[in-house]
Structure 1
Amino acid sequence: MAGTFSQLYVQVVFAVKGRENLIKKEFRTEIFEYIAGIIKGKNQKPIIVNGVGDHVHLFVGLRPSMSISDLVRDVKNNSSNFINSKKYVAGRFSWQEGYAAFSYSQSQIDSVFNYIQNQESHHQRRTFREEYLDMLVKFQVQYDEKYLFDWIE
């Protein structure tokens, strides 16, 4: 019997609602491991999950049995519930609507992994806004500024 074989590499980026710095360093490892577990539980391949206080990067080996939008919806929903159940933030935690997703080739895995792994040092030099807009331009994604995240200036 013939099968379907593929491996798609996708980086997903999304932000905390209101772009608040709510993902504190002391909870990041646990939150990112939980998100990786969600991805794995959906039979997808978590390559790396990392971020800083106001946003997260996922790098995933995506099987075609699941859409990116369904995966992101499940990750956001389940991780928000996890963060709220652990009371990592005062009040109610949630992710901002929307996300960006970019595909990569097998030969780019190491460089994307390193980029995501070094988010903290990377954001000492560049803001999330600069990073996000640069990715949209690099990947030639058309966008309307009014539909981007609520930016904190």
Structure 2
Amino acid sequence: MDLNKFHLLLNKKILILGSSIIVIILLIIIFTPNKKPQNIKSDPAQPVTTYVALQPLSPTPTNSAELEQAIEEAKQSAREYDDWQANLRLTYPWLRKLPVADTKYYVYFDLKEEKFLGSIYPARGDNVAIIKTEALRVLKEVKEIPVDDYQFTWTVK
């Protein structure tokens, strides 16, 4: 029995001693200052050799004629679209205030037909004329849109 206690005690001592050595080694590694490599000083007697690149660092892209034509067409299309948008803003400066919507109506402007289109959603017992009047009032007074200058098409749904 005493021999078992001796082996057990010896194993614990070896374990503690080994753990302590590992901890000490880790602490030495962690807290030892890093030595920076010393700069190698060149000998002034030796000439400095420089190399010249014979090829450009980045190749210049070359576009095919078809690609150049496609780029020009895209630019022209973008210019036409920008001109169209600018013309819309001049002709219809109030267009960004639309659509006007409520639970009982929805009004927007059709650019192709150049007229207002309105949908009315009356509940049972609602007066359609009153809903139209309210929608027109909001367009004129609140949104300040010149509705008298354009036609209206109403749809009751």
Taking structure 2 as the reference length, the TM-score comes to: 0.31
Taking structure 1 as the reference length, the TM-score comes to: 0.31
Q: Which has the higher contact order (CA 8 A, sep 6+)?
A: 1
Identify, as 1 or 2, the structure richer in strand.
1
Higher-Rg member (1/2): 2
Identify, as 1 or 2, the structure richer in helix.
2
